[in-house]
Amino acid sequence: MVAFRNKSLVNICVGGVISALAPTGLWAAPAACEVRSGERLTPVIELYTSEGCSSCPPADQWLSTLKGKPVVAQAFHVAYWDYIGWKDPFANASHTARQKELAVANGLSGIYTPQVVRDGRDWRAWRNPYLDIDTKASPKAAISVRKAEAADTFEASVTPASSTQKWTAYWTVTEHNHSSHVRAGENAGEFLKHDFLVVQYEPQGIFQGTQALNFRAMASHPDHPRQINLVVLDTQTGATLQAVSLTCS
C-alpha cells in the first residue's frame, strides 16, 4: 500500500458525486454508501504531473474542470523534477513506477510531464478546448463497491464479461482542494492548486473470473473531499475494463 498525508494538506456526502453522475447512466447507487458500474465504460484519466515542472500547471487546471463529470480522474505527482530545486510534497515513487509501466505498454521511449493517459493509452488530445470525454463504449467488467462497517474499509466485487479474462486492478484515494506556495524551481513564486490528487495508490494482483477485493483507505481529512476509486484493467494491454468512484461521509 502506498499512502501519504501532507500536513499542509473530504468528505462530502454520498450524493455529492454520485447524484451528479447518476443521470448519465454510467453509475447508479442506492442510498447507502455504495456504487455499481453501469452499462457504459467509465473513462479513466490519469495525469502525471509535478510542482517542479513549469508546463504542468495548465494540465492541473484542466483536470480540475472534470469535477462532476462521469470520469475517474487522478493526478499522480512524480518526483523526478525534484532535482531542479523544489521537492514536490505530493510526489511518490510508486507513481513514477506506474508511469514507466504505461510508457512500456504504449511503446514510448521515455516518460514526461505533463502526461495525460486515458484508459491506459497516452492521450495528448486533452489540450483540445472542445473535447468531449464522454464515451458510448461498453465495459468489459462489472464492479460494485461498498463501504464496510469497519472505518475506512471498502469491499468490492469484480466480474469480467468473459470468465477467461485475466485482469488486474488498483485502488486510489483522491482528494480535492490541495495547494502549495512554490518557493523554488521552475514554478518559484507560484501558488498551485490541485484536485483529484492521488494520496493513496494500491495495486492489486492478477485475477481471472469473479473476485472479491478489500481496501483499507487512509483516514479522511475534513478540508479535502475525497473519492475512493477502483480501476479494473486488462493484464495484457492495460486498457480499462471498467472503473468506479465512490464518495462517502
- Please report which confidence band the pLDDT of residue 3 belongs to, taking 50, 70 and 90 as the band edges: low
Local confidence band at 11 (pLDDT 50, 70, 90 cut-offs): very low
The pLDDT of 210-217, averaged and rounded, is 97
DSSP state of 7: T
- 92-143 pLDDT, tens digit per residue, is 999 999 999 999 999 999 999 999 999 999 999 999 987 888 888 999 999 9
Q: Which residue do the cell numbers 490541485 mark?
A: 194
Predicted local distance difference test score (pLDDT) of residue 131: 82
Residue-level pLDDT at 132: 83
- In this prediction, residue 163 carries a pLDDT of 92
Q: Dihedral angle at the C-alpha atoms of 149, 156, 172, 20, nearest 10 degrees?
A: -90
Sorting pLDDT into bands at 50, 70 and 90, what band is 9?
very low
Tell me how far apart the alpha carbons of residues 32 and 145 are, in angstroms, rounded to a whole number: 11
Question: How far apart, in whole angstroms, are the C-alpha atoms of residue 176 and residue 183?
Answer: 22
Look at residue 12 and tell me whether its pLDDT is greater than 60: no
Using the predicted structure, report yes or no on whether residue 158 has a pLDDT greater than 60: yes
Sheet-wide strand order for 211-216:
27-28, 34-37, 141-147, 153-160, 211-216
Residue 222 has a pLDDT of 87
Q: Are the CB atoms for 225 and 12 separated by under 8 Å?
A: yes
Q: For residue 100, what pLDDT is reported?
A: 97
- Give the pTM: 0.86
The mean of the pLDDT values for the chain is 88
CA angle 23-27-28, nearest 5°?
A: 80
Query: Mean of the pLDDT values across residues 54-60?
Result: 97
Is the pLDDT at 164 greater than 80, yes or no? Answer: yes
CATH of domain 2-125+138-246: 2.60.40.10
- Confidence label for 14 from pLDDT (cuts 50, 70 and 90): very low
Confidence of residue 29 (pLDDT cuts 50, 70, 90): very low
Dump pLDDT digits (tens) for 71-85: 999 999 999 999 999
Is the separation of the CB atoms in 118 and 227 below 8 Å? no
Cell numbers for 109 = 521511449
Distance CA 57, CA 50 (A): 9
Report CA 213 to chain centroid distance, whole Å. 17
